[in-house]
Amino acid sequence: MTTQITSSFATDAELLAAITPNSGGREIFDPATGALVALAPEHTTADLETAITAARAAQPGWAARSHAERSDLLNLAADAVEANAEALAVLLSREQGKPLNGPNARFEVGACAAWLRTTAGFELEPEVLVDDEGGKAELHYRPLGVVGAIGPWNWPMMISVWQLAPALRMGNTVVLKPSEYTPLSVLALVHVINSVLPKDLLHVISGGRDVGEAISTHADINKIMFTGSTATGKAIIRSSADSVKRLTLELGGNDAGIVLPDADVKAIVTDVFWGAFINTGQTCAALKRLYVHEDIYEELCTALTEVAAAMPMGVGLDEANVLGPLQNQAQYNIVASLVQAAVDSGARVLTGANPVNDQPGFFYPTTLIADIDNNNPLVAQEQFGPALPIIKYSNIDDAVAMANGLDVGLGASVWSRDKDAARAVAARIEAGTVWINKHGAVDPRVPFGGAKSSGYGLEFGVEGLKHLGQPQIISY
């Protein structure tokens, strides 16, 4: 399924030549220009069977290697990603739409190398739980077997690494199923990584939902790492039940940010902006609802509008741009209809909300909406695009109640000059991560996971590594 390489790719065209079929395949278009990027292979459930069989056969040999050997190979994989970073970033930009610059394509490829390297460096020694005259009990983590990894289209390379790096590090083998919207990015990344890994540890199957469904029911898949929508996560829970698969589910969010009255508007405004608009808002743990105290409401609205005006949006390969298009028409339609509903309700448009359709590409303007009701669909639903509703509050209890009022809880943030006051508010918020004076700042050393319908299980850090292992007690 995958080909070994030994040399670096100078351009995205060379990468594409290595991963695309000579004829046939599914057309992948650049969401910024509408131009054809390439034809992606269309793998089937028969290809999935072949990949799972090969991954299963390779797994015991991989598990038999030491942690140190597996770490060395992950570090080599990080080197390979870095050696091909620019070609990978250009391809990612053309397929996903995100600009090269800003917290986008080059940033994403850099994060892939960082996550591989950090995951390679973790120690996972057995824990001695009891050691007394009555005996000894140790906690070990064994590999699970073959891990199925199913990913979304917003951060296709980075999220694939979040799944494959800890899985491989623990001695599992991996079958990855990228989103049908962004297969090329993941095929290219895996091609580069496989240039340094032993054969058959890591497979990528470029297929549709049927392949995802087949992974979730397959008897020879021991664990699923899934990142995507809550609806699909629920479908995977149901379809994986018969085989009692282990699941890590990173699902949808609709993150709240609460700005306390003492916040330093000038100091925080750029970070608030990027907390919301990173990857043009197509980020699970992006700030999607901003609750601002009435004392500084107008000041922050004005400051955010000024920052938004200074952030160019356009074709990703243009070095000037830091915001890009929506990745696909369906996502564009969701954002456009939710913003329109907000405008129709009488909410105040600070900027945006008026798309000009005179160019190809799914560009939706950076949109800030003030004086909006908390029950408006733009607030209550995950819009996953470049729009931010800003809700005024006067009482912190109301703000916390509004932040906790939805059935999702991935991330959240509190903004204040007073860290203790912010931490006290953070403790009341129902979310897997609460950041203070920042939002969405994930770190490969720090566990990350959702509360409520945003999923379960943890990724990152030693805790995340443990989720790719079978705990085993040895008692004697």
Residue selected from 180, 255, 271, 430 as contacting ligand NAD according to rule CB under 6 A: 180
Cα torsion angle, 103, 104, 106, 109, sign: positive
Q: Does 250 bind ligand NAD (CB under 6 A)?
A: yes
CA dist 295 and 422 (Å) reads 17
Which residue stretch of 67-75, 147-155, 272-280, 343-351 sits at the interface with ligand NAD (rule: CB under 6 A)?
A: 147-155
Q: Running DSSP on this structure, what letter comes out for residue 126?
A: P
CA dist 366 and 363 (Å) reads 9
Q: Does 450 bind ligand NAD (CB under 6 A)?
A: yes
**Residue 35 Cβ vs ligand NAD, minimum distance, rounded to whole Å:** 22
Q: DSSP strand E in 144-259: where? A: 146-150, 173-177, 202-204, 223-227, 246-250, 255-259
**Residue 216 Cβ vs ligand NAD, minimum distance, rounded to whole Å:** 5
Site string for ligand NAD, 195-214 (x = CB under 6 A): -------------xx--xx-
Rg (CA), the chain: 23
Closest CB to ligand NAD belongs to which residue? 212
Contact predicate 455/124, CB 8 Å: no
Q: Running DSSP on this structure, what letter comes out for residue 72?
A: H
Which residue stretch of 89-97, 174-182, 198-206, 334-342 sits at the interface with ligand NAD (rule: CB under 6 A)?
A: 174-182
Q: Does 469 bind ligand NAD (CB under 6 A)?
A: no
Q: Does 179 bind ligand NAD (CB under 6 A)?
A: yes
Residue type, 180: E
Q: Does 235 bind ligand NAD (CB under 6 A)?
A: yes
CA dist 88 and 330 (Å) reads 25
**Residue 48 Cβ vs ligand NAD, minimum distance, rounded to whole Å:** 12
> Is there a catalytic annotation at residue 250?
yes
Q: Does 380 bind ligand NAD (CB under 6 A)?
A: no
**Residue 12 Cβ vs ligand NAD, minimum distance, rounded to whole Å:** 22
Of the residues 180, 250, 382, 459, which is catalytic? Answer: 250
Q: Which two tokens stand for residue 78?
A: 């990080």
CA dist 188 and 142 (Å) reads 30
Q: Does 175 bind ligand NAD (CB under 6 A)?
A: no
Q: Got the DSSP string for 242-256?
A: TTT-EEEEE----EE
The closest of 417, 446, 420, 445 to 432, measured between CA atoms, is 446
Which residue stretch of 36-44, 139-147, 227-235, 295-303 sits at the interface with ligand NAD (rule: CB under 6 A)?
A: 227-235
Helix (H, G, I), strand (E, B) or coil at 50: helix
Between 171 and 409, whose beta carbon lies closer to ligand NAD? 409
Residue selected from 108, 200, 382, 430 as contacting ligand NAD according to rule CB under 6 A: 382
Site residues (CB under 6 A) for ligand NAD, limited to 406-435: 410
Q: Does 253 bind ligand NAD (CB under 6 A)?
A: yes
**Residue 61 Cβ vs ligand NAD, minimum distance, rounded to whole Å:** 29
Q: Which two tokens stand for residue 433?
A: 């991560």
Q: Which two tokens stand for residue 398?
A: 């109301």
Geometric angle at alpha carbon 240, from 238 and 243, rounded to 5°: 130
Q: Does 227 bind ligand NAD (CB under 6 A)?
A: yes
Chain residues binding ligand NAD by CB under 6 A are: 150-154, 159, 177, 179-180, 208-209, 212-213, 216, 227-229, 232, 235-236, 250-253, 284, 382, 384, 410, 450, 454-455
Catalytic residues: 250
